[in-house]
Structure 1
């Protein structure tokens, strides 16, 4: 078995595990009914697919989306390196809240048309397209809009195509704004683009309906499923690494700033170890926040694990998490447990700040992120799923120049 095929097989582990779990926990009839409910429900933040369609349909939705993207990567002969692993697991996670088997594909079509226009290959933008599905809720909003009626499908398709077409040049520019210190660069881009789109909608007198739909009934099942996956990654990494943690300390010395691909720099085996450790650490963070494991929390955990192959490790993530919890304790105090949990998990988008400027800077970044993230959702009206990426981009853009002026950068 060569290195390329091994990585693909490991990426297939989670969706296959989800399919098995879906049939153990639910019936095919409920899955079909639940998938229909998921596809036709508004995805504007914050909507938990577990509450909308049930556990079977949500697991199947995530599994199908993940399998489709892994197959696409395989057909394009793209080796799963750090950013690819981050993208795949981010999609798997957000298929629990906002991305479904219908609303992501128009964005991919837009990316393909962009490559045809530029005379390049689709392979060159597939990573951007996978993350650009942060604006998938826009497709759904147009698709189910009562005012558009039978034209909603066409409007939704065209809206997604436009997003996919313009995202590559936009994201490249936005990376320069925060200089790689916000790992969720597409979230920053999507937030700005979503803000413009919502400004137009509001100008036309259309205000998005606020949503806060969460489940709590599948906490135990999801904890078992995710714990098994994280332990699998950890033990497999140790086994492939000669039954040792050799090389893991080198990952902990990297600052994580874009582009820091742990797979390319330190090896796939050591990256698996980091992913497993970070996943278990993420579960501990959720428990500390006193939140059940629900759709948004699964999205946060799988995104954390994915980016643990591309920038995040305990030493640069824990200071940011600490800053977020301190912000909640000292300032907000009454934040919903799930909101606190996902802010702590997604807030690690700012891990490169701690990695480059030290733990105190990371704590400051986490506290500032807590202030910002709770207030920026209004700008894009919830159609940007990576709200923490938008907030992280703002925080990094403001904080990094100040840190550079008064501190030493690693």
Structure 2
């Protein structure tokens, strides 16, 4: 049994399937089938731009049902593409699960995935299109805003919304390959930066035709008890699963902590699966603990942040390079005008860990500095460029911060190893 879980792709796919079933069943704990149905209709037809908490506009059960549907969709894409699960796929899937609680849904993600696939088919350039397609659903609100936010006739809105989604998806692979050079791999959310640029481009078009898109801030409260129980139990179970797979030891964990994370280290190919699962679960527990310790709310967006950090525990993040970022965001947030317990500030902390490679490569002091700069940068007017249509706004901001800090630190800090981008 242990050998099966360590090596077989079927075991990994089965685990994701079981998680989807769990989310599906949990939906009915919080709400009745009728409430879930009504809430799902709201989710599918809402513009969904930042920050739209599905707990707030619909209900908890509908949000969990949306998470199950999004996970089933991702598994379907893996199935038909015959893509093997690797570290990047793991990160993409858990990011999708996280954002299914705010902003992403089955409707607004499908056309973007189709757009990426279309480019793959017509370009005749071999590349793994699936991670780009899954991460590219960051632009889901772009589809929803065009479909439902401009008061267009229903059929016109649906056709234009999906056309825009396919166009955005089509150009996603081209631009993402280019923009990774901009931040030199020091921001792990490269698609977030790419999506920010695409969203800003479309926003400029909308403004030219006097089509207004207003960023929103809809967040819920009062779910800490049940959500903390859910997250802590889930991450604890995964930790003990990893510990069991690793023969009840931490062998190999210290080696993982030596990774800088630059360019998105593929932990599953470098280390035993048990070690990676322990790293992911610890990041999930730390992220959950951070939200609770500063008096924040475990709502749709913050749970999305927790799951994203957890997922990227397979790609570039570990407790050693993440904690300095959290510290930096907290310190600057605490001594400035920001409310560190607000959902916006918590998202800056959690998603600010996109800069974990700066901490891992240049050292924790510079990680703290990166976190401090990040919260100042991301909480200002950057989201107005795309009006919240890029759900990975913090990835957008992280790309700029990394692009500024990396060349400066490269001159100030001597690091003879790992000079080439992975």
* Same fold? TM cut 0.5: yes
Aligned to 1:384: 390
Aligned to 2:420: none
Residues in 2 aligned to 1:333 and 1:195: alpha-carbon distance in whole angstroms: 25
5+ residue gaps in structure 1? none
Residues in 1 aligned to 2:259 and 2:396: alpha-carbon distance in whole angstroms: 24
Q: 1:312 to 1:259 in 2, by over 3 A?
A: closer
* Range 46-55 or range 12-21, more displaced: 12-21
Q: 1:144 to 1:399 in 2, by over 3 A?
A: same
Q: Is the partner of 2:283 in helix, strand or coil?
A: helix
* Contact 1:182 1:349 (C-alpha < 8 Å) held by counterparts: yes
Q: Deviations over 1:104-146 (max 9, x none)?
A: 000111112112211256x721110101111110000011134
Residues in 2 aligned to 1:186 and 1:117: alpha-carbon distance in whole angstroms: 21
* Contact 2:295 2:341 (C-alpha < 8 Å) held by counterparts: no
Which of residues 106, 129, 139 in structure 2 aligns to 1:135? 139
Residues in 1 aligned to 2:76 and 2:209: alpha-carbon distance in whole angstroms: 41
Residues in 1 aligned to 2:339 and 2:274: alpha-carbon distance in whole angstroms: 41
Aligned length: 409
Residues in 1 aligned to 2:294 and 2:213: alpha-carbon distance in whole angstroms: 29
Superposition RMSD in Å: 1.4
Q: Deviations over 1:48-87 (max 9, x none)?
A: 0011110111101001111221232133332221111000
Deviating beyond 4 angstroms after TM superposition, the runs of 4 or more aligned structure 1 residues are none
Aligned to 2:378: 373
Aligned to 1:282: 287
Aligned to 2:250: 245
Which aligned pairs between 1:230-379 and structure 2 lie closer than 5 A? 230-334=235-339, 337-375=342-380, 376-379=382-385
Shift of 1:204: 2.2
Which of residues 40, 48, 65 in structure 1 aligns to 2:45? 40
Residues in 2 aligned to 1:139 and 1:213: alpha-carbon distance in whole angstroms: 19
Q: Is the partner of 2:278 in helix, strand or coil?
A: helix
* Contact 1:55 1:218 (C-alpha < 8 Å) held by counterparts: no
Aligned to 2:218: 213
5+ residue gaps in structure 2? 418-422
Aligned to 2:413: 407
Residues in 2 aligned to 1:15 and 1:245: alpha-carbon distance in whole angstroms: 29
Aligned to 1:156: 161
Residues in 2 aligned to 1:55 and 1:241: alpha-carbon distance in whole angstroms: 35
Which of residues 221, 228, 232 in structure 2 aligns to 1:227? 232
Residues in 1 aligned to 2:27 and 2:379: alpha-carbon distance in whole angstroms: 33
Residues in 1 aligned to 2:92 and 2:400: alpha-carbon distance in whole angstroms: 22
Shift of 1:333: 4.0
Matched, 1:102 2:131: no
